[in-house]
Structure 1
Amino acid sequence: MLELYIKHTEQMKRHIEMLNALFIHATEGIVVVDGQGVIAMMNPTAKQLFGYDEEELIGNKIELLVPIRYARSHASLRMGYMGAPQARGMGHNRDLFARRSDGTEFPVEVSLSPFATSEGDFVVAFVVDITDRKRQENDLRAANEEIQKLNTELEMRVTQRTQELAETLLKLETSQQEVIRALEKERELNDMKSKFVTIASHEFRTPLATILSSASLIGRYVHTEEDEKRQKHVHRIKSAVNNLTEILNDFLSVGKLEEGRMHSVPVEVDLPACCSELMDEIKGVCKEGQQIFYQHEGAAEAWLDKHLIRNVLINLLSNAIKYSESYTDIWLRTRVDEAGVHLEIQDQGIGIPESDQTNIFERFFRAHNAGNAQGTGLGLNIVKKYLDLMKGEISFTSKTGKGTTFYINLPNYAPSAA
C-alpha cells in the first residue's frame, strides 16, 4: 500500500509540474478570475501583454484590462455569463480590444472556459494579441480595394476606347479611299510620325469645325441689336485660331528640335518687362474671371534666350489657363539671384494625377483627367527640351483638384562666360 501511495504521489507531482510548466510557458496570455470577476492568477505571457506586474493585478477586477469605454458594459456581460457559464469565444462578429497598463489598446481574441474548485467557481480566459493579423487583414483589404479601383478604371478605359474605335470606324467608312492612301503613306513613316498624324488629325478637326460653323452664323446677324451674338462667334473663331496656332507651333517646334536646328543664344533681358509684356498678350485668352498675377524679386537683368524662355512661359501659362476653371487665379513669379534665374507658375486647376506625374514630360502623353481640353501632348515635352537647351531644370508639385505649380531654374551668365 505504501509503495502504491508513493507512486500515486509522484504521478500527481509530475502532473502538477507539467500543468505549471504549461501555465508558465504558454504563448497565449492566461488570466484566471473568480465568480466576482476578481483576478486570481495570470501567466507571464499575460503580464507581458498587459504590461503589469502580477502583484498589481491580483485582487483587482478584470475590467482593469478592458478599455474604459467598455468597462461598464463588460461588467454587466460578465455577470450574465457567470449565471450560465460555458466554454466559448468572446465577441462573436465583433472586434475586441484590451487595455495595457499605459492606457494603450490592442486587438485581441479571447476564449473563456469555466471550472469549479473547492474554493468556488472560476473562469480562465485565454488572450491572444492579434495586432499583426489585423494589420495583415487591413493590408489585404486595402490591396483588394486598389484592385477593384484598377478594375473599374480599366473597364472605363476599355469602354472609352471602344467608343472612340466605333466613331473612327464610322468616319473611315465615309472616306475609305482617303484612308487607304493615308495608311499606305503612314506605313513608310517611323513611330513618331505615325503618332504625329493621329494627334494632328484629331486636334485640327474641332477648331476648324468651330471656325466654319461660327463664320456661317455670323452672316445671319445683320441687325445692330444682334451684335452680342456676332461678338460671341467672333470670340469663338479667335479662340479656335489660337488653338490651331498653338498646335502648329508645337509641331513646328518638334520638327526643329528633332532636326537640331534650335540653339540657345542668351542675351541680356529685362525679365520683369519681358514677363509683363507677355502677360498683356496672354490675358486675351483667359477664361471669364481668370486673373494672372506677376511678382518679381532681385535684379531685373538676366542672361536668357528670350525666344526660348518666352515660348516656355507661353506654354505653361496657356496650360494653366486651359486646365483651370473660370474665376480662378494664376501666378507667375520670377527671381534673379546669385544662383541663377528662378521662375514659378502656379494655378488652381485640375491638377496632375499622381499616377501620371512620372510620364508628364513624355511626347504625346496627356494625363487621363485632361478630358476634352484641346492639346497635342507635346507642350510639356517641348518645354523640357527648350530648358535642356538652356541648361535649365524643371520640376513641379501637383494635387488633383487643387492645382499645379511648375518650378524652373536657369543659369544666368553671358555667352562669353560659358
Structure 2
Amino acid sequence: MEAQDASGAVRRESIHAAFPITERKGAEEKFRRLLEAAPDAMVIVNGEGRIVMVNAQTKKLYGYRREELLGMTVERLMPERFRQPHLGHRKRFLDKPQVRHLGTGLVLYGLRKDGTEFPVDISLAPLETEEGILVISAIRDITERKQLEMDLRLTQDKLRTLAHALMAEGEETQRRMARGLHDGFPQKLAAIGLRFSTLQKKLPSASRSLNTEVRSISREIQAFEEEIRQFARGLHPAILEHLGLIPALQAECGAFSTAHKIPVRFSHSNIPKKLPAEVSLALYRIVQEGLQNVARHAGSTTSIQVILRCTETGVELTIRDNGSGFDPESAKQRKGLGLISMEERARAVGGNFSITSTLRKGTEIKVQVPLEMSDATTANPAR
C-alpha cells in the first residue's frame, strides 16, 4: 500500500510491525482488503498528523487522488476554523489513545478539494506499531441524515404551529360559547323559575303535594342554572380576564377541593399583578389540566400543592401531589392527551415543561416560562 514519508517521498507503507513475523504478509494483505472494503472513508494518520494510508472511499468523498492525500496533514481535510483546535485534540488523543467517537453533541465538517463543506461523523481508533502509534479515522458523510433531521424539525415546527393555532382558535370558540351560556341560558332559567314562584303563590294552600312539587322543580332549575354557570366558567374563565391570574387560580383550586374533597394548597410569591394575557391563560389551563389529572389518576392523593412564583428569569409553576405516582419511563411510551396539552401550552409561550414521579410517592409537574419584567407590572404580595 502506497504512502509517503515526512520528506514527501513515496514509499510502500507496511503495517507488518503490528503483527507477528510469521503472519506479516497475510495480515498486511488482509488489512489492505478490509480497508478498501470499508463503506466509510478510512484515513490513517501518523504521530505527526500526516496521512499514511487511505482507501477508495476517501478519494471519492474528498475528491483527491490517492497520491495527493498521502503525506498531507489531516487538518487540510477540514475547514479552516477547525484546524487550529484540532492540533490540540490530536495531541490529547496521542497522549491517551483509545477508541472514541468524535462530535457527540457537535456538528463536524469535512472539506473537499473543490472547497465545499459537508457534515461528517468520525470515529477514531489507535493502532500500535513498532514505528509508533497510528490513528485510524472512519469518516462518514452524514449530509443525508442532517437533511432528514432538518426536514423532521421543520415538520415538527409546522405541526407545533398548527397545534398552537388550534389551541388559540379553541380558546376563542370556548370564549364565545361561555359568553352565550352565561348571558343566555341562566337568564331564561331564572325567568322560568320566577314564573314557577309566581305560580306557587297562586296555588291553593290545600294543594300541599302540588306545592311541594313546584318547590322541588324550582330548586332543580336553580341547580341547573348554577351548573351552566360553572360549565361556562370552565369553558372560559371570565375571572382571569377581569381580576387576573392569582384570583383565578385561587377560585379554581377552591372549586376543585370542594368538588373532589382533596385539599389544594395554593401559594404564590412576587407574581406581577398583570402578566401577558397568553402567559396567564397558559398557566391557568395547565393548572386546570394538572388538577384533573390528579383527580383521574392519583386515587390515593390526600393533598395537592400549587405553587406559583417569580424567579429572576420568569415565572415558575409547580403542581405537586402525594398520590400513588407512576413509572416515568412507561408514561413516556403512553403519554396521554393531558400531558401533551400541558406541554404544548407551555411551549406556546416559550416555556419548559417537565414531570417527575415516583411510585407511591407522588408526582410533580414543573413549568418555567421566561418573562421580561418589562412585560409585567407590580408584583402581588406573597401568600
TM-score (norm 2): 0.42
Larger radius of gyration: 1
TM-score (norm 1): 0.38
